[in-house]
């Protein structure tokens, strides 16, 4: 998948906004939204929130996990554990990027949040690399990783699958005719 | 007619319609256009943007678009001429004019259907009252009707009536002649002097504020519009200070929102601050020495075209204790210890050297870690991009490039513009030095006159009106400082430069005399028209500023002679 496709999927996440206009309930294919009343918060998908923000029709409320202390805790936890810890949201990276690019004036301490989320991301990607490395070295047939988000998987997917394919071809050519255990790739 | 409620009478009217935006080529208009574009994007109003450089361009653009559009918005063009007669529109075309050119043509003021002026009425307009200029023609008809009735009466009575009627008729004709003479006088006084009013960008920003859709970006553009009026010397000092105070209120309102929470904003957010900064052009993007050398204020006060002047500059730098090596390197690389108190140090020393106003009130913007700009920096950069003569691109391309450099996302274009502005300022300084040293400015009696020869270096730069205006103003200031003739100091200046060598045209520009309390009113518009008529010279009064015209080179002498006779 393309990273932009993953971002597109992330835009379906709900965020809270405070509109400055009023509109009755709207009925969209994906669900009902509204009604919108000025000053009252309402939950909308991220794509609509960003569009309204750019047209200066609303104020975006940052999600609860987008807070300096909470993110610091998550970062510490991530650094301590060897496996992946639960993430605040399955699309935390995309949400951070989109909200900080378009609505950074509604998010307090935006710079620190950006640094903290980047730290969490770096730690998790490092763990992913280590785990892929050990998987290949020990020529295991099966691996199970919890709590990975789609964006993280997407960074290694093409490379890992292609390289495993190549290694399989090389190994099977070493022993012509003998089928030496199929390495199944279950993630 | 003047629009009183800009929201109801302008914005709500065009809200669901398609609009044609005709924008003149100056920075104030560009800023107003940017703000209006942002508003249109928010509310998804469809518009077509057409840059226009003069009356002919405006006419062509109107003809092209009059079938498809009913609403036209004109920015910085169209107020000072009878628009309906120039464009001959259909009955249902409506024009919204946001223009700084004054005086506003009386037909535009008193037309209620098609022309709506987005101009603040407390702008000191002095429009003559309706009865003084317009008058119904019905009274003539009454008179003759009255007389024909009388003809059926018997002769004796008729003669008495006729005598009375004839007397009344003579009375009425005399009154009419008097009224017409007074009308001509009033109109002449009203239209004699040309000047500028409140910045168009500020008017459109007020519209955004009324709609509560104003953002810091729009406020910054309004500030740039006002700075453009100051850099190109279009408004008086009093008006500039008043407008700065108005904008300062908006700036503090926006900044108050920042400091509200104890959590500060991201560094990438735009911060606008009021600065009482130095009058040295582009000094933060150049070296201090270059900036002092090429700014008109310091250059004219020190007389930097002469050797004594340059020695004085060295003294000035020594007086402040700034080592030459520091002063000649890029401002950003100067020692922090020097940069900290720079403004106060320079102000103190300049007071000693007779420059009392080295500091001027202005605004600066700051976003990201590296990007700090003053309003006048952006004005110079955008002007340089707009009047780019280096490549042979159309005026439309330059317009779009200059428009782009105003957005925050196009910083490379802004830096490119700053570099071009530096070259332009250096060219102006050199031309100025050579003009003063070779005494190219001659007094023709009622005015001073200077002609740039074709072989002068960088003369192509000065074929554009704004660059030529800057040069003329600096030249006049420098001349006033350097001449010994007291009478010459009060004279206005006419500047001529070659426009197109193949077609043999020159561009002529007139500016009012230099004085401390100048009201910046320019009478050359009318003077040029009359002189061109009387000598039947081949002129083109195409620019929206009537004091800038194009003329055939061969007609130059007789045109000037006519001007001299007209003005003495």
- Residue pair A146/A106 in contact (Cβ under 8 Å)? The answer is no
- What pLDDT score was predicted for residue B150? 41
Supply B17's token pair. Answer: 């319609």
**B contact test, residue of A110, A112, A113, A117 with most B CBs within 10 A:** A110
Give the gap in angstroms from C-alpha A22 to the nearest C-alpha of chain B: 15
Which residue matches tokens 């168009």?
B200
Choose the closest CB to B266 out of A56, A57, A110.
Answer: A110
Longest pairwise C-alpha distance within chain B: 107
Q: What is the mean pLDDT of residues A24-34?
A: 89
Nearest residue on chain B to A100, alpha-carbon basis: B266
Question: Taking an 8 Å Cβ-Cβ cutoff, which residues of chain B contact chain A?
Answer: 41-44, 212-213, 215, 261, 263-269
Q: What is the pLDDT of residue A172?
A: 87
pLDDT at B155: 53
CB contact under 8 A, A105 and B43: no
pLDDT reported for residue B366: 87
**Spans in chain B with pLDDT lower than 50:** 138-154, 262
Structure tokens of B132?
């003084």
Report CA Rg, chain B.
27
B480's tokens = 């006033």
Distance CA B23, CA B39 (A): 16
What is the helix (H) or strand (E) element at residue B361, kind and residue range? strand B359-367
- Could you write out the DSSP letters of every residue in B398-441? HHHHHHHHTSTT-HHHHHHHHHHHHHHHHHHHHHHHHHHHTT--
pLDDT for the residue B146: 42
Establish if A101 touches chain B: CB-CB under 8 angstroms. Answer: no
**CA distance to A4, B329, B359, B516, per residue, from B347 (Å):** 54, 21, 7, 20
CA distance A134 to A153: 17
CB count in 10 Å sphere of residue B520: 17
Local structure of A75: helix, strand or coil: helix
Return the pLDDT at B157: 57
> Across the interface, do B41 and A55 touch by the CB < 8 Å criterion?
yes
Q: What SS3 class is residue B510?
A: strand
| B73 or A144, which is more confident | B73
pLDDT of A186 above 70: no
| Model confidence band, residue A138 (pLDDT cutoffs 50, 70, 90) | confident
Distance between CA atoms of B422 and B380, rounded to whole angstroms? 9
Are B369 and B343 within 8 A, CB to CB? no
pLDDT confidence of residue B140: 44
Q: What is the pLDDT of residue B388?
A: 84
At residue B355, the pLDDT reads: 85
The predicted pLDDT at position B152 comes to 44
């Amino acid at each position: 998948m393309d990273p932009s496709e993953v971002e597109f999927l992330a835009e379906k996440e709900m965020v809270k906004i405070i509109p400055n206009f009023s509109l009755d309930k709207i009925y969209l294919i994906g669900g009902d939204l509204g009604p919108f009343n000025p000053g009252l918060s309402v939950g909308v998908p991220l794509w609509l929130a960003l569009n309204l923000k750019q047209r200066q029709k609303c104020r975006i409320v940052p999600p609860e996990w987008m807070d300096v202390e909470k993110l610091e805790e998550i970062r510490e936890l991530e650094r301590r554990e060897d496996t992946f810890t639960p993430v605040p949201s399955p699309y935390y990276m995309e949400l951070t990027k989109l909200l900080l690019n378009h609505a950074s004036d509604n998010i307090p301490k935006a710079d620190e949040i950006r640094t903290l989320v980047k730290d969490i991301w770096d730690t998790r990607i490092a763990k992913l690399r280590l785990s892929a490395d050990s998987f290949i070295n020990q020529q295991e047939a099966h691996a199970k990783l919890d709590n990975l988000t789609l964006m993280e998987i997407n960074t290694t997917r093409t490379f890992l699958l292609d390289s495993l394919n190549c290694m399989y071809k090389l190994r099977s050519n070493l022993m012509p005719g003998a089928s030496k255990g199929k390495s199944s790739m279950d993630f | 007619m003047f629009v009183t409620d800009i929201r109801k009478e302008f914005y709500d009217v065009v809200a669901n319609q398609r609009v044609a935006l005709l924008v003149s080529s100056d920075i104030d208009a560009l800023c107003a256009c940017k703000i209006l574009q942002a508003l249109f994007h928010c509310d998804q109003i469809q518009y077509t943007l057409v840059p226009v450089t003069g009356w002919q361009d405006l006419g062509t653009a109107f003809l092209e678009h009059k079938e498809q559009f009913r609403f036209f918005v004109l920015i910085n063009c169209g107020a000072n001429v009878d628009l309906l007669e120039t464009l001959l529109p259909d009955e249902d075309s409506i024009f919204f004019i946001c223009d700084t050119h004054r005086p506003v043509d009386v037909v535009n003021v008193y037309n209620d259907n098609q022309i709506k002026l987005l101009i603040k009425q407390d702008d000191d307009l002095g429009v003559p009252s309706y009865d003084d200029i317009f008058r119904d023609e019905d009274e003539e008809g009454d008179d003759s009707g009255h007389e024909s009735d009388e003809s059926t009466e018997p002769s004796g009575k008729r003669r008495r009536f006729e005598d009375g009627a004839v007397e009344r008729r003579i009375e009425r004709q005399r009154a009419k002649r008097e009224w017409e003479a007074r009308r001509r006088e009033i109109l002449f006084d009203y239209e004699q002097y040309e000047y500028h009013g409140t910045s168009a960008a500020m008017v459109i920003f007020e519209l955004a504020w009324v709609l509560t859709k104003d953002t810091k970006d729009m406020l910054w553009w309004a500030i740039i519009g006002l700075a453009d009026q100051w850099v190109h010397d279009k408004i008086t000092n009093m008006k500039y200070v008043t407008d700065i105070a108005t904008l300062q209120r908006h700036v503090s309102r926006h900044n108050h929102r920042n400091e509200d929470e104890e959590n500060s904003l991201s560094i990438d957010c735009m911060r606008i601050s009021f600065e009482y900064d130095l009058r040295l052009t582009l000094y933060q993007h150049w070296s201090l020495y270059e900036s002092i050398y090429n700014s008109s204020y310091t250059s004219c006060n020190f007389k930097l075209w002469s050797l004594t002047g340059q020695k004085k500059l060295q003294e000035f730098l020594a007086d402040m204790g700034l080592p030459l090596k520091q002063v000649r390197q890029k401002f950003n690389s100067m020692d922090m210890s020097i940069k900290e108190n720079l403004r106060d140090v320079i102000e103190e020393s300049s007071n000693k050297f007779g420059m009392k106003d080295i500091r001027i009130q202005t605004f600066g913007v700051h976003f990201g870690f590296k990007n700090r700009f003053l309003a006048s920096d952006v004005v110079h950069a955008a002007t340089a991009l707009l009047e780019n003569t280096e490549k042979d691109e159309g005026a439309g391309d330059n317009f779009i490039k200059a428009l782009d450099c105003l957005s925050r996302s196009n910083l490379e274009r802004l830096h490119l513009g700053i570099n071009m502005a530096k070259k332009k300022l250096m060219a102006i300084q050199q031309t100025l030095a050579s003009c003063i040293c070779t005494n190219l400015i001659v007094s023709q009696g009622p005015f001073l006159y200077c002609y740039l020869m074709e072989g002068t270096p960088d003369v192509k730069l000065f074929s554009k009106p704004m660059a030529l205006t800057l040069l003329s103003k600096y030249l006049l200031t420098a001349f006033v400082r350097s001449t010994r003739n007291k009478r010459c100091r009060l004279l206005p200046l006419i500047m001529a430069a070659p426009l197109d060598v193949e077609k043999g045209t020159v561009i002529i520009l007139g500016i009012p005399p230099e004085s401390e309390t100048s009201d910046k009113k320019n009478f050359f518009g009318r003077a040029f028209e009359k002189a061109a008529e009387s000598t039947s010279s081949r002129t083109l009064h195409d620019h929206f500023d009537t004091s800038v015209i194009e003329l055939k080179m061969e007609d130059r002498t007789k045109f000037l002679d006519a001007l001299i006779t007209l003005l003495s």
